[in-house]
Structure formats: C-alpha cells, structure tokens
Amino acid sequence: MSGENLPDTQAALERDLERLRASQPAAPAHLKERIIANLPERDPWQDLFDWLRASAWRGVTAAALPLLLGFAVGLAAGDDPELELATDSLIFAEVWEAYETDEI
C-alpha cells in the first residue's frame, strides 16, 4: 500500500462500516433488562476481599497507602511555627483539662 491511497482506503472502510451498521437489526428494548436480571448479585465487600486476597502485594499496597499519604502530608507541612504553636496549644489544653478533672 502506498501512502497516497491511505485516505481513500480509510474513507472506503468508513463507508463500509456505516453500511454494515445500517444493515444490522436493532436489539429488542427489553434485552438489556433481561441480561441484567440474569447476572448474579455481587457483594461489593466480597469483591474487595477477593481483590485483596488475589495477591499479597495488593494487601500490602492497600495497607501502606494511608501511611505514605500521612508521611507526604507531614513532610508538606514543614516547620511552620504557627502549626507548631497550634499543636503545642492543643496538647497543653488536653493536659490542663486532665489536670482540672483530676485524671493526672
């Protein structure tokens, strides 16, 4: 095939495809409902369990992703003095509340 005939060949294939689509009968309207009704019902939790059980690395990945996300967020926060002050204030408030209620 030469490069010159490629657009003509493509146009001919598209015409043949359109002609083939037009000649195909349409599916009955109720066919979709019948097919869906015949499918077995699946539990999403069982699907998740099956997916995790299929490979050990999937379970490790699923367990490590929240940990890695926490590290990324922690590293992105950096050494912001205001964040450190807010953290220290929350810790102080918890300790003070425990002292006031005689839990210490």
- Please answer whether residues 19 and 13 qualify as being in contact, where contact means their C-beta atoms are separated by less than 8 angstroms: no
pTM of the model: 0.33
Distance between CA atoms of 39 and 50, rounded to whole angstroms? Answer: 18
Angle at 32 between CA 29 and CA 36, to 5 degrees: 150
What are the residue ranges spanned by the domains of the chain?
6-38, 44-100
- Please answer whether residues 52 and 59 qualify as being in contact, where contact means their C-beta atoms are separated by less than 8 angstroms: yes
Written as tens digits, the pLDDT of the chain (104 aa) is 555 677 788 889 999 999 888 888 888 888 888 988 898 888 999 988 888 888 888 888 888 999 999 988 888 777 777 878 888 899 999 998 888 887 66
Between the two ends of the chain, the Cα-to-Cα distance in Å is 87
Q: How many residues does the chain have?
A: 104
Q: Which amino acid is at 84?
A: E
Residue whose token pair is 């539990």: 43
